Amino acid sequence: MTAIAVAATINGEATSFLCEAEETLLDALRDRLGLTGAKEGCGTGDCGACSVVLDGRLVCSCLVLGAEAEGREVETIEGMALGDHLHPLQQKFLDHAALQCGVCTPGFLVAAKALLDQNPSPTEEEVRFGLAGNLCRCTGYDKIVRAVMDAAESMRDGR
């Protein structure tokens, strides 16, 4: 089996890596690049724990091949904070205690950011449907929805 050389922009940085033809983007990020923030909860596109943004679109990285990242831009949870500055969503997740175990949190944050990029003023229902592809087994979603609504508000107010 020959490995494929892939060149992509990951969290704004030109990055190259080798991966096998059947290797998912999730595995490439985690095993080749040490970006373990995206998690595998299912491997079948049902839990959203592996969420990343590929060329501006929210995807389940377990359903994308590593080789498909060639020439494209990938954004992961590791690129969400600006240096020491947490993204407002990250800060609001902490403030609202919107995580218990936290394994779903990277996926929720990436998906919530994609949601707010598209719709800066979502209703509660829009948040709930916008995040329906992300599973959380700990929180019952209440505090997650509140955190996202609150982050949206503070972002509209210019932080």
Partner 1 sequence: MTNSETGLKERQFKIVGTRPLRPDGIDKVTGRARFGADMAAPGMLVGKILRSPHAHARIRSIDATKALVLPGVKAVVTHEDFAEVGADLQDVLENVMAQDKALYDGHAVAAVAAISAGVARKALRLIEVDYEILPHVTDVEAAMAAEAPVLHDDIVTSGVEPAPKTPSNVVHRHEFGHGDVAEGLAQADVVIEHDFKTAATHQGYIEPHACVGSVGPDGQGELWCCTQGHFWVRNTCAALLGMDVSHLRVTASEIGGGFGGKTTVFIDPVALALSRKAGRPVKIVMSREEVFRASGPTSSTAMTVKIGVRRDGRITAGEAVLKFQGGAFAGSPVDLGAMTAFACYDLEHVKTVAYDVVTNRPKQAAYRAPGAPMAAFAVESVIDELASKIGMDPIELRLKNAVENGSQSSYGPKFGPVGLVETLVAAREHEHYTAPLGANQGRGIASGFWFNFGGQTCVSLNINADGSVALAVGTPDIGGSRASMGQMAAEELGIGYDKVRTIVADTASLGYNDISEGSRVTFSTGLATIQAARDAIGKLCGRAAQTWGISPDAVVWEDGYARPAGANAGEFPPLSLAEIAETAAKTGGPIAGHCEVNAAGAGVSFATHLVDAEVDPETGRAKILRYTVVQDAGKAIHPSYVEGQYQGGAVQGVGWALNEEYIYGEDGRLQNPSFLDYRIPVASDLPMIDTVIVEVPNPGHPYGVRGVGETSIVPPLAAIANAVSAAAGVRLTELPMSPPRVLRGIDEAAANGKA
Compute the least distance from the CB of residue 59 to partner 1, in Å. Answer: 17
What does 74 interact with, of ligand FES, partner 1, none (CB < 5 to 8 A by kind)?
A: none
Phi, psi of 60, rounded to the nearest 5 degrees:
-85, 115
Query: Among residue numbers 11 through 30, which ones bind partner 1 (CB under 8 A)?
Result: 20, 22, 30
Quick one: which of 5, 36, 159, 56 has its CA closest to 103?
A: 36
The residues that bridge with 13 in the sheet, in sequence order, are: 10
End-to-end CA gap in the chain: 50
What does 60 interact with, of ligand FES, partner 1, none (CB < 5 to 8 A by kind)?
A: ligand FES
**By the rule CB under 8 A, 43 interacts with partner 1:** yes
Give the gyration radius of the chain's Cα atoms.
16
CB neighbours of residue 93 within 10 Å: 25
Nearer to partner 1, 71 or 133 (CB): 133
- Footprint on this chain of partner 1 (rule: CB under 8 A): 1, 20, 22, 30-31, 35-44, 46-47, 49, 76-78, 80-81, 86, 90, 93-97, 99-106, 109, 124-125, 127-129, 131-146
